Amino acid sequence: MRLFVATHNPHKLREIREILPGAEVIADDPSGAAETAPDFSGNALIKVRAIAGRHRGDWCLADDSGLEVRALGGEPGVRSARYAGEPTNTPANNALLLRNLEGVADRRANFTCAIALVDPAGEEHVVTGRCFGRIAEAPSGSEGFGYDPLFVPDGHDRSFAELSPAEKNAISHRGRALAAAREVVEGLQAGT
């Protein structure tokens, strides 16, 4: 099957290809689609709708994801990519997060990923995945992207950036959301 993915983030594309190895994954640029929804699902729908009209008869997918920190009332949330301002600056985002958590004992946080799918008949589907953990006192590791060096998933003492890609995919918010997306795809294909 062909799957058009509304992203220009090479890290996300790699993770999607690793988790959906049977699909021919093709990137399409949703630029121009302003992510103005108040939640991840709404933004994923905005992005997938921006490309779906170009690919009728094929599957389309968009993901929207971010980090929610309990002691910060769910921030950075939907603003994760631009927490420290635009354009996206990962070192500045991570530094701001550590600064905002200085002296804070409750470091609980979770990543959330919403995936919006448009199937070949034009029907929309939304699934989500979460990964719970905590924010470390300092960054560690060099794998992954974004807040990975600061996020230690529950049951681990290493950050996402210290895990191999396969280890991260097995437990990550995106891995879980993509597993749910795969069920949607397989369920629909089984019914046709």
Cβ-defined contacts of 76-85 (< 8 Å, 24+) = 78/35, 78/37, 78/38, 78/39, 78/40, 78/43, 80/146, 80/147, 81/146
What is the contact mask toward ligand IMP in residues 54 to 73, using x (rule: CB under 6 A)? ----------xxxx------
What is the contact mask toward ligand IMP in residues 104 to 123, using x (rule: CB under 6 A)? -------x------------
Q: Which two tokens stand for residue 56?
A: 């009728």
Kindly tell me which residue out of 147, 153, 169, 181 binds ligand IMP, with binding defined by CB under 6 A: 147
Contact call for residue 149 and ligand IMP (CB under 6 A): no
CB of 58 to ligand IMP, least distance (A): 22
Contact call for residue 128 and ligand IMP (CB under 6 A): no
Contact call for residue 146 and ligand IMP (CB under 6 A): yes
Residue 169 CA neighbour count, 13 Å, CB half: 16
Please answer whether residues 35 and 43 qualify as being in contact, where contact means their C-beta atoms are separated by less than 8 angstroms: yes
Active-site option among 28, 63, 64, 148: 64
Candidates 192, 188, 184; CA nearest to 20 is 184
Contacting positions for ligand IMP (CB under 6 A): 9, 64-67, 80-81, 88, 93, 111, 144-148, 160, 172, 174
